[in-house]
Amino acid sequence: MRILVTGGAGYIGSHTVLLLLQAGHQVVVVDNLSNSNPEALRRVAELAGRAATLHEVDILDHAAMDHAFTEAQPDAVIHFAGLKAVGESVREPMRYYRNNVAGTVALLEAMERHQVRTLLFSSSATVYGDPHAVPILEDFPLSATNPYGRSKLMIEEILRDLHRSAPEWSIGILRYFNPVGAHESGRIGEDPNGLPNNLLPYVTQVAVGRLPAVSVYGSDYPTPDGTGVRDYIHVVDLADGHLRALDYLLRGPGLLTCNLGTGKGVSVLEMIHAMERAAGKSIPCRLTERRPGDVALCYADPGRARQLLGWTASRDLDAMCADAWRWQRDNPDGYPSA
């Protein structure tokens, strides 16, 4: 199969491209490298024994996208490209709506021009807002509390409208919970720009000595140990979920909406302790105020993915931490700058 992957040089994209190549697919990546490093795809090629083609292109660039589609002749598109920092989205909402929402519309129009109508989209558990219950089912009410979340919700609505108007499309909306970890080789992983926003890269940067201590945002939540609970999912399990979802979509038209999570809630303190075991050292942390916009509990009911895709996450918290630590230890400053 020929697959065009937007954002394929990024964190989740690079792990998915590796699995696609290993499964024998031809892969063309479209990425403007605004939040990634071409070294990731070089290493993917080294691991897979063959390479994806990279087009350094913005998904908003009509002509360059036409060129990439003409060259790739894809059977399907996996759409990872997007900006994802919540705080930045509050400061620069227009940039988020242009890049994420207008970018997706431009991609859908390019797909229509090239008669490619099979799409997997990276949504997020953020579309459940502050869930009224856990575990979270796909039909729970949707809401968003910041422009990043709203951009995901808007794109989901656009995809639902598109599918209503053109049922010949085959669309998968995958709602990721909290992707963490790295490929077990330690060669590719998460390489955030500047101070990490997310918990696990922050913890590994403290463990490796780049940062002094982890701030635990809130210890008075209604959770077993008072700290926030999330559904952390190994990035390779997540990538594998895309291959399963792609198989499902290619069976025929339809609209699939699926949680990708483990179904297990892990607290901030449990995560820090698991990383201490993986790294074999203690990780300094201090309890601080809650982070505005955070929810107490967020974990998936992954039943639909199991039932429809035959997919379940197989890597546990210790594997997530061991792999995240191997990546951080072997690449303390991330990918070498180009």
Tell me how far CA of residue 116 lies from CA of 62, 80, 159, 250, in angstroms.
15, 17, 14, 12
Do 299 and 134 touch, CB atoms closer than 8 A?
Answer: yes
Among 187, 230, 264, 326, binds ligand UD1 (CB under 6 A): 230
148 counts as catalytic:
yes
C-alpha to C-alpha distance for 285 and 212, rounded to whole angstroms: 9
3-class DSSP state of 180: strand
36 binds ligand NAD (CB under 6 A): yes
**Binding partner of residue 81 among ligand NAD, ligand UD1, none, CB cut-off 5 to 8 Å per kind:** ligand NAD
259 binds ligand UD1 (CB under 6 A): no
Among 30-38, 42-50, 69-77, 291-299, the segment contacting ligand UD1 (CB under 6 A) = 291-299
86 binds ligand UD1 (CB under 6 A): yes
The separation between CA 106 and the C-alpha centre of its own chain, rounded to angstroms, equals: 21
321 binds ligand UD1 (CB under 6 A): no
The separation between CA 261 and the C-alpha centre of its own chain, rounded to angstroms, equals: 11
192 binds ligand UD1 (CB under 6 A): no
302 binds ligand NAD (CB under 6 A): no
C-alpha to C-alpha distance for 185 and 187, rounded to whole angstroms: 5
The closest alpha carbon to 93, from 145, 135, 148, belongs to 148
Contacts of 266 (CB under 8 A, 6+ apart): 229, 230, 231, 232, 274, 317
Identify the DSSP state of 35: T
Identify the DSSP state of 125: G
**Binding partner of residue 268 among ligand NAD, ligand UD1, none, CB cut-off 5 to 8 Å per kind:** ligand UD1
Site residue total, ligand UD1 (CB under 6 A): 22
**Binding partner of residue 189 among ligand UD1, ligand NAD, none, CB cut-off 5 to 8 Å per kind:** none
Do 328 and 153 touch, CB atoms closer than 8 A?
Answer: no
Among 80, 96, 128, 202, binds ligand UD1 (CB under 6 A): 202
Nearest distance, CB of residue 118 and ligand UD1, angstroms = 25
Tell me how far CA of residue 153 lies from CA of 126, 192, 328, in angstroms.
9, 24, 32
11 binds ligand NAD (CB under 6 A): yes
Among 3, 4, 5, 7, binds ligand NAD (CB under 6 A): 7
Residue 197: exposed, middle, or buried by beta-carbon count in 10 A (0-12, 13-18, 19+)?
Answer: middle
**Binding partner of residue 60 among ligand NAD, ligand UD1, none, CB cut-off 5 to 8 Å per kind:** ligand NAD
What are the catalytic residues?
Answer: 148
Residues lying near ligand NAD in the complex (CB under 6 A) are found at 6-7, 9-13, 30-36, 58-60, 80-84, 99, 103, 122, 124, 176, 179
Residues lying near ligand UD1 in the complex (CB under 6 A) are found at 84, 86, 124, 126, 148-149, 178, 197-199, 202, 214-217, 228, 230, 268, 291, 293-294, 298
